[in-house]
């Protein structure tokens, strides 16, 4: 088995710490290790470092090398620029089939998620591998513990065996009432964005469901053969449709399987999500700096300065060298709107 880690995002919801020059996956926001380092370490009991690949934008190549010095340089698959998961997985599968056989299984996962119970995660890969051997496209569905409206859902159909189910349908992010119905039904699972398949299976799926992508891959492969893997493929890659693999492939495929898992997964998608999984003091504050607190509860504070709080509740306060975020915790995801405004106003120094 080989692993493909998708690490090309910018992580706008973690502004002002996550920047284009140092995105979320390279931040030490959960432990002393970056999220990318944690993801690789999670895989090492089962997959050798030589069989772990990172797909990322060209602008992040040096960061990958810095955070993963033992990773072979040829294991960094470079996108000319960020697109979406369908293009980046397609490019990576075409890159990998040059080295591995089409029957080689690959696990595909984001670089910036948390999995608390690693033994359970590794065990699920064994189950996924059995299903992938049957030419299925496998996804891992998280057993929901509350009616989340920020995740897509996967509805399980008929049971196959050993904790595997056919996928009945994918559902986009629901409203609260619908999410409550999903959770009470016990056959809906959060879409984790983690997949497994054989290299040949996913390449054939592109030919069947995204033929435009398959044709572009043929052009890219010719360029690689004639000019080498470091040649410029930007004009070809720019023609890729900017869609997620869930919509482009998984929603259309007939051979798709979901494996329900419960291994302490969290996509750590916002400052509030980070607050939820962090260790708290007696007043439910998470404070990463020297501080004095008076009558303040349920706050997340990350600062390089001494912080004094008086009568402050339910806030996120995050300081970087050149910016300060102050937000109601429940609205912290809206920081991505701030980032969009900064882009619009051409405040490049803050991005």
101-123 pLDDT per residue, tens: 999 999 999 999 999 999 999 99
pLDDT at 162: 76
pLDDT at 240: 95
pLDDT at 316: 95
Of the residues 235, 266, 297, the one at which a domain ends: 266
pLDDT at 20: 86
Tally of CB atoms within 10 A around 202: 26
- 203-220 average pLDDT score: 96
- 310-334 average pLDDT score: 93
Number of structural domains (the chain) is 2
- pLDDT of residue 11 exceeding 90: no
Per-residue pLDDT tens over the stretch 132-160: 999 999 999 999 989 988 889 999 999 99
| Contact of 6 with 88, CB cutoff 8 Å | yes
Q: Do residue 160 and residue 133 come from a single domain?
A: yes
Q: Do residue 197 and residue 320 come from a single domain?
A: no
Per-residue pLDDT tens over the stretch 56-77: 998 899 999 999 999 999 999 9
Q: Do residue 159 and residue 289 come from a single domain?
A: no
Per-residue pLDDT tens over the stretch 243-282: 999 999 999 998 999 999 999 999 998 899 999 999 999 9
Q: Do residue 30 and residue 137 come from a single domain?
A: yes
Of the residues 217, 235, 266, the one at which a domain ends: 266
Q: Do residue 103 and residue 171 come from a single domain?
A: yes
Residues 6 or more apart whose CB falls under 8 angstroms from that of 85 comprise 6, 193, 244, 245, 246
Strand-strand pairing, 76-79 and 52-57: parallel
In a domain, 50, yes or no: yes
Tell whether omega for the bond before 277 is within 30 degrees of 0, i.e. cis: no
Compute the distance between CA of residue 129 and CA of residue 125 in angstroms, rounded to an integer: 6
- pLDDT of residue 313 exceeding 90: yes
Q: Which of the four pLDDT bands, split at 50, 70 and 90, describes residue 343?
A: confident
In a domain, 212, yes or no: yes
In a domain, 272, yes or no: no
pLDDT at 150: 85
Q: Of the candidates 255, 3, 254, which has an alpha carbon nearest to the alpha carbon of residue 125?
A: 3
Compute the distance between CA of residue 11 and CA of residue 257 in angstroms, rounded to an integer: 29
Cα atoms in the 13 Å half-sphere on the side-chain side of 144: 23
Cα atoms in the 13 Å half-sphere on the side-chain side of 236: 20
Q: Do residue 304 and residue 186 come from a single domain?
A: no
Q: Do residue 84 and residue 175 come from a single domain?
A: yes
Q: Do residue 14 and residue 124 come from a single domain?
A: yes
Q: Do residue 340 and residue 221 come from a single domain?
A: no
pLDDT at 328: 94
Predicted TM-score (pTM) of this structure: 0.92
Q: Of the candidates 158, 161, 162, 160, which has an alpha carbon nearest to the alpha carbon of residue 187?
A: 158
Identify the CATH number of the domain in which residue 36 sits.
3.90.550.10
In a domain, 247, yes or no: yes
In a domain, 271, yes or no: no
Task: Decide which of 236 and 348 is more confident.
Answer: 236
Of the residues 266, 294, 327, the one at which a domain ends: 266
Give me the chain's average pLDDT, please.
93
pLDDT at 12: 86
In a domain, 309, yes or no: yes
Q: Do residue 75 and residue 177 come from a single domain?
A: yes
Per-residue pLDDT tens over the stretch 298-310: 999 999 999 999 9
Q: Which domain holds residue 312?
A: 277-350
Per-residue pLDDT tens over the stretch 167-197: 999 998 899 999 999 999 989 999 999 999 9
- pLDDT of residue 2 exceeding 80: yes
Q: Which of the four pLDDT bands, split at 50, 70 and 90, describes residue 346?
A: confident
Q: Do residue 172 and residue 215 come from a single domain?
A: yes
Q: Do residue 27 and residue 168 come from a single domain?
A: yes
In a domain, 205, yes or no: yes
């Amino acid at each position: 088995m080989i692993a493909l880690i998708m690490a090309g995002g910018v992580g706008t919801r973690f502004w002002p710490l996550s920047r284009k020059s140092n995105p979320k996956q390279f931040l030490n926001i959960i432990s002393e290790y970056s999220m990318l380092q944690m993801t690789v370490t999670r895989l090492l009991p089962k997959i050798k470092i030589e069989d772990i690949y990172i797909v990322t934008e060209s602008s992040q190549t040096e960061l990958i090398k810095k955070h993963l010095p033992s990773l072979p340089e040829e294991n960094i698959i470079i996108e000319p620029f960020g697109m979406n998961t369908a293009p980046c997985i397609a490019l990576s599968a075409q890159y990998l089939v040059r080295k591995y056989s089409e029957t080689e299984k690959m696990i595909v996962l984001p670089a910036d998620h948390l999995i608390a119970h690693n033994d359970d995660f590794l065990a699920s890969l064994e189950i996924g591998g059995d299903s992938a051997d049957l030419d299925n496209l496998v996804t891992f569905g998280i057993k929901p513990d509350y009616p989340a409206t920020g995740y897509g859902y996967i509805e399980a159909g008929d049971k196959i065996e050993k904790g595997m189910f056919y996928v009945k349908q994918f559902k986009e992010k629901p409203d609260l009432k619908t999410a409550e119905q999903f959770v009470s039904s016990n056959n809906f699972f959060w879409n984790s964005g983690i997949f497994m398949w054989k290299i040949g299976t996913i390449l054939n799926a592109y030919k069947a469901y995204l033929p435009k992508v398959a044709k572009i891959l043929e052009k890219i492969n010719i360029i690689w053969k004639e000019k080498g893997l470091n040649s410029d493929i930007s004009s070809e890659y720019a023609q890729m449709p900017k869609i997620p693999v869930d919509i482009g492939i998984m929603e259309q495929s007939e051979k798709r399987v979901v494996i329900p898992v419960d291994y302490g997964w969290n996509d750590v998608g916002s400052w509030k999500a980070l607050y939820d999984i962090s260790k708290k003091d007696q007043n439910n504050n998470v404070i990463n700096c020297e501080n004095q607190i008076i009558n303040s509860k349920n706050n997340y504070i990350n600062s390089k300065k001494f912080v004094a709080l008086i009568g402050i509740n339910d806030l996120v306060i995050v300081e970087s060298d050149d910016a300060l975020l102050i937000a109601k915790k429940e609205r912290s995801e809206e920081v991505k709107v701030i980032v969009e405004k900064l882009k619009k106003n051409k405040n490049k120094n803050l991005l």
